[in-house]
Amino acid sequence: MGGTLCKIGSPLLSFLLCSLCTPLQRFPNTTTRVQKTQITFFNRHVYACVSFQRVRKKADLPDPLIVITLGLSYPLESNSVAVKTEPYPGRWTTHIVAGTVEEIDDELFSWVQQAYSFSESK
C-alpha cells in the first residue's frame, strides 16, 4: 500500500502521505481502503481517514494539504483541529489539517492511537 500512496500528486504531497500512512500500518488488524476521495483505516470500525477535503476557506489552507479525520470519544482541543462535530452522543469526528511533515508528529500519532483504541472498544 505504501508504495502506491507514495506516488500520488506532487513529491511533497506524496512525502506527506507516506509520512502519515506508513506508520498507521503498525496498528494491529488495520485494514486500508484506498478510494477516489480518501484513504480509510479501520479495524472493527473506521478510526482514521486521510483526504484532501477542504475544511476551511481555500485561502486559509496550506498547499499541499492533507486532512486527517479521526473518530474520538471526546472533543479534541488543539490549534491543529480545523473542524469537530458530534454526529452521535459520545462520538466526535475531528478534522486535522497538515501541510508539512513537521505537523505529522508524535502528538498526532497519539490522537490516532486514541481513535484506534476508541474504535476497538465499540
Mean pLDDT: which of 17-31, 48-62, 80-94 is highest? Answer: 80-94
Among 62, 67, 103, 101, smallest CA distance to 84 is for 67
Lowest mean pLDDT among 1-5, 28-32, 73-77: 1-5
Q: Where are the alpha helices (DSSP H) in 11-105?
A: 11-24
| Four-point Cα dihedral 39, 45, 68, 7, nearest 10 | -20
Kindly tell me if the per-residue pLDDT of 12 is higher than 80. no
